[in-house]
A and B are shown apart, each in its own frame.
Chain A
Amino acid sequence: MIKRRPPEFAAWQKQTVEELKKQPERKELFSTSSAIPIERVYLPEEMDDKYVEKLGFPGQYPYTRGVRTTMYRGRFWTMRQYAGFGSAQETNKRFRYLLEQGQTGLSVAFDLPTQIGYDSDDPMALGEVGKVGVAIDSLADMEMLFEQISLDQVSTSMTINAPAAVLLAMYIAVAEKQGVPKEKIRGTIQNDILKEYIARGTYIFPPKPSMRLITDIFAYCTEHTPQFNTISISGYHIREAGATAVQELAFTLSNAMAYVDAALEARLPVDTFAPRLAFFFNGHNQFFEEIAKFRAARRMWAKIMREKYGAVNPKSMQLRFHTQVAGSTLTAQQPDNNIVRVALQALAAVLGGTQSLHTNAKDEALALPTEDSARIALRTQQIIAYETGAADTIDPLAGSFYLESLTDELEAKAQQYISLIERKGGAVAAVEQQYMQREIQRAAYEAQKRLEKEEEIVVGVNRFQLEEEAEPDLLQVDDRFVEQQLERLALIRKQRDNQLVQQSLTELKRAAVGSDNVMPHIIEAVKHYATIGEICNVLREVFGEY
């Protein structure tokens, strides 16, 4: 029997051979417990046009089956646990602990004052310093955060949006001090302001100047930090706020298109910046729908980039994403059950081909995770990677009637939303009209009502409750550090060269008023230990507040 071999198949085979030369697979032979060999990828008997168009091959357009040629057979996803609390010193200790435990990337949580561009001593920061993440006021804190962690050895993801330029500038400055050239640093800044207006709330400036900051970062990084992802376009928080899987998919891609539009308007050629766009999705409860969502997202993005924007660089079409499992599905009741929820959500992310993964700790509905619960969370993904065999063949659920149908449906429904948003004038206009915000609120309220009518069951919450619950051990952030942080900040202000600080802030203001890229000026300011509050206040003066 002669099977049809489409040219794309040959292309994938060729690419695989090349990839294997660069990076051999984890094992020479993959097999099951019964010694059944496991193929790299399983394919239909007839690879007809429809198959090639909708699914194709790993690492090949439209990337439904994954963005890399060998996927997890070459290398597992990056295990990247979001961490940060209290002082830079404390967080540095937790980072080094996680690296010792086999974590392969860092992910920094900043406290809310840092995320909204306030110094720790600002009245607005009252009660919030060091609470949900680490407090960073100046380069001195950033130096402490990465002490004994060599920035050419790790990739670092920073959950920072409105002041992303400032934190990236500090990261670059720390790297330089360590003797690591900025071309070599790897990581991601979240830098996704649209979803802040929609769902997460840490905006500072109005949408238009915010978009300008983002395109300044794109332009700077394309030239100077080619290995750094300039944005992580996030559906995660949209989903957490109550959106459905379709809404998560549609709003995220609409936002992504708005960033591409803004960059094109700033005269950046699409294939220069698009390869560094990264995505961030939620890993939620409904197992198959989630897997389908990830696959649909890849296929949709590939089409958008090639057909709408005329990208030719394959990297511009590859939707690479981080997944965090859904914090909102964790329950305060019977918190040990959360370990099981997390494991299933994480497995869906792996079967959906995620590039990196954060697994939540079981106690996050109650407080920040303890060291023990953070370790169990990491172990959960290590078990999926090393014990289940789920990573031994690429896109293992492809061809399932159910999954493929779900993937198509999600794509179609998300496409309807995207078209609707385009008719409203695109994502920026839709955000300004509160369109997405209202859609999400409605979905959240509907979900809550279903829960209370017991149309949806949450184990331990509206069924299978326990009469009394033991009180678990929780992490309390030690408040005493706040005083130390304030003292440190005062000392920095005293010891630095304040004239240089003023000069660099004046320069920054000039750039912000005009159209020069602000990035080099922010880097200059942070090197002189200008604080995040000082830098953001200059920008507030020029841009206004949302």
Chain B
Amino acid sequence: MDKIRVLMAKPGLDGHDRGVLVISQALRDAGMEVIYTGLRQSPKQIVTAAIQEDVDAVGLSSLSGAHNVLFPEVLKLLREAGAEDILVFGGGVIPAEDIKLLEKQGIKKIFTPGTSTKTVATYIERAVLEARGEVKITAAAKPQGIDHIGIAVNSIDSAAVFYRNHFQLEVETVVELPSQQVKVAFLPLGNVTIELLEPLTGDGVIAKFLEKNGEGLHHIAFAVDDVQQRLDQLKREGVQLIDEVPKKGARGNNIAFLHPKQASRVLVELCESHDTEGG
């Protein structure tokens, strides 16, 4: 496996280079070869350097607000030079809505202030190796299936009416989880259970969710063999976790949550099958 080569660049006139220098050093410490262009590079200069240096990735830093013009220009020139396989990521003072826009245009990832250097290094390494085809996402098998779907409701009693009247689904059991300030009703359907989640008090996780979003889909849970093993794998892959170690779920089984950020804003739960014998 060749060393990962990264070109770090400051497009435009911005002179803030603390971030780009710190990231460059961190990537070097993570075993990559890093070339830093210095200040005031035009997109053309950056693309020329990227091709000459035969890099795997280009990191662009801008804190002056010129990102919306300069970052896409780099992408465009890379495409024109037939070098669209070079991954482009960016960082700086970049508002959330611009991030969406830039990532849609083909910037692989934008890192904002406060991101740890480790996250950046892990992400780039992963992305480059994937792009080179040197690593497939770990051979871990697909999840066994969907274990359950969690729906946040104001009241289990009134929510259950819909499922009973129109789908003949019955509440099988109701469990109270004081530790999470939540009451859970289980409505099984084949291998999947629908969970209705009602807040016990005003300040649990579900109460906050309802306050912010109103009723609706709260999470989807995958059934997996071993939650800890999955967490280790996801962590290596740079996926942001909420729980780094498994905790006990409503049915006493091991569960853990992943951060919604990378899952199209859906909260994903991993869940060891509760009805597996022995194990």
User: B252: CB under 8 A from chain A?
Assistant: no
User: A339: CB under 8 A from chain B?
Assistant: no
Q: Is A444 touching B22 in the complex (CB atoms < 8 A)?
A: yes
Chain B residues contacting A115 (CB-CB under 8 Å) are 13
User: A368: CB under 8 A from chain B?
Assistant: yes
Give B96 Cβ to nearest chain A Cβ, in Å. 5
* Proximity bits, B95-114, A CB within 8 Å = 1, else 0: 11100000000000000111
Of the stretches A23-31, A119-127, A423-431, the one at the interface is A119-127
| Contact A112-B64, Cβ < 8 Å, known A124-B42, A331-B113, A445-B22 | yes
Q: Is A368 touching B118 in the complex (CB atoms < 8 A)?
A: no
Of the stretches A96-104, A194-202, A410-418, the one at the interface is A194-202
Q: Is B114 touching A332 in the complex (CB atoms < 8 A)?
A: yes
* Proximity bits, A111-141, B CB within 8 Å = 1, else 0: 0110110100001111110011000000000
Contact-size category for B: 35 or more
Instruction: State A118–B42 Cα separation when bound (angstroms).
Output: 14
Q: Is B260 touching A468 in the complex (CB atoms < 8 A)?
A: yes
User: B93: CB under 8 A from chain A?
Assistant: yes
* Proximity bits, B108-147, A CB within 8 Å = 1, else 0: 0000111011100000000000000000000000000000
Secondary structure type dominating chain B contacts: loop
Q: Is B14 touching A112 in the complex (CB atoms < 8 A)?
A: yes
User: A241: CB under 8 A from chain B?
Assistant: yes
Q: Is B70 touching A331 in the complex (CB atoms < 8 A)?
A: no
| Contact A113-B13, Cβ < 8 Å, known A127-B68, A241-B18, A468-B260 | yes
| B 1-53 contacts with A by CB, 8 A | 12-18, 21-22, 25-26, 39-40, 42
User: B175: CB under 8 A from chain A?
Assistant: no
Give A159 Cβ to nearest chain B Cβ, in Å. 12
| Contact A366-B18, Cβ < 8 Å, known A116-B13, A127-B69, A452-B116 | no
Give A331 Cβ to nearest chain B Cβ, in Å. 6
Give A197 Cβ to nearest chain B Cβ, in Å. 10
| Contact A452-B114, Cβ < 8 Å, known A127-B66, A131-B66 | no
Instruction: State A190–B70 Cα separation when bound (angstroms).
Output: 28
* Proximity bits, B243-276, A CB within 8 Å = 1, else 0: 0000000000000000110000000000000000
Q: Is A333 touching B114 in the complex (CB atoms < 8 A)?
A: yes
Give A323 Cβ to nearest chain B Cβ, in Å. 20
Chain B residues contacting A125 (CB-CB under 8 Å) are 13
Q: Which of B17, B70, B260 gathers most chain A CB within 10 Å?
A: B17
Give B202 Cβ to nearest chain A Cβ, in Å. 18
| A 230-282 contacts with B by CB, 8 A | 240-242
User: A502: CB under 8 A from chain B?
Assistant: no
Q: Is B117 touching A196 in the complex (CB atoms < 8 A)?
A: no
Selected from B13, B16, B97, the residue in CB contact (under 8 A) with A128 is B13
Q: Is A132 touching B65 in the complex (CB atoms < 8 A)?
A: yes
Give A369 Cβ to nearest chain B Cβ, in Å. 12
Instruction: State A328–B26 Cα separation when bound (angstroms).
Output: 19
User: A474: CB under 8 A from chain B?
Assistant: yes
Chain A residues contacting B42 (CB-CB under 8 Å) are 123-124, 126
Q: Which of B66, B118, B260 gathers most chain A CB within 10 Å?
A: B66
| Contact A444-B65, Cβ < 8 Å, known A113-B13, A366-B93 | no
Q: Is B21 touching A444 in the complex (CB atoms < 8 A)?
A: yes
Q: Is A112 touching B93 in the complex (CB atoms < 8 A)?
A: no
- Chain A residue nearest in CB terms to B38: A201
| B 178-220 contacts with A by CB, 8 A | none
Give A1 Cβ to nearest chain B Cβ, in Å. 56
User: A312: CB under 8 A from chain B?
Assistant: no
User: B242: CB under 8 A from chain A?
Assistant: yes
Q: Is B21 touching A471 in the complex (CB atoms < 8 A)?
A: no
Q: Is B64 touching A132 in the complex (CB atoms < 8 A)?
A: yes
User: A467: CB under 8 A from chain B?
Assistant: yes
Give A400 Cβ to nearest chain B Cβ, in Å. 32
Chain A residues contacting B68 (CB-CB under 8 Å) are 127
Chain B residues contacting A461 (CB-CB under 8 Å) are 114
Q: Is B12 touching A112 in the complex (CB atoms < 8 A)?
A: yes
Chain A residues contacting B22 (CB-CB under 8 Å) are 242, 444-445, 448
Q: Is B113 touching A126 in the complex (CB atoms < 8 A)?
A: no
Selected from B16, B96, B113, B117, the residue in CB contact (under 8 A) with A201 is B16
Q: Is A471 touching B96 in the complex (CB atoms < 8 A)?
A: yes
User: A365: CB under 8 A from chain B?
Assistant: yes
- Chain A residue nearest in CB terms to B265: A468
| A 334-372 contacts with B by CB, 8 A | 365-368
Q: Is B18 touching A127 in the complex (CB atoms < 8 A)?
A: no
Instruction: State A123–B70 Cα separation when bound (angstroms).
Output: 12
Q: Is A131 touching B65 in the complex (CB atoms < 8 A)?
A: yes
| Contact A441-B21, Cβ < 8 Å, known A124-B13, A131-B65, A452-B118 | yes
Chain B residues contacting A328 (CB-CB under 8 Å) are 18
26 pairs, CB–CB < 8 Å, chain A vs chain B: A112-B13, A112-B15, A115-B13, A116-B40, A124-B13, A125-B13, A126-B70, A127-B67, A128-B13, A128-B14, A132-B14, A201-B14, A201-B15, A331-B114, A332-B114, A366-B93, A367-B65, A441-B21, A444-B21, A444-B22, A445-B21, A448-B22, A451-B116, A471-B97, A474-B95, A476-B95
The 5 closest A-B pairs by CB, nearest first: A201-B15, A127-B69, A127-B66, A112-B13, A131-B65
Binding site for B on A (CB under 8 A): 112-113, 115-116, 118, 123-128, 131-132, 196, 200-202, 240-242, 328, 331-333, 365-368, 441, 444-445, 448, 451-452, 458, 461-462, 467-468, 471, 474, 476-477
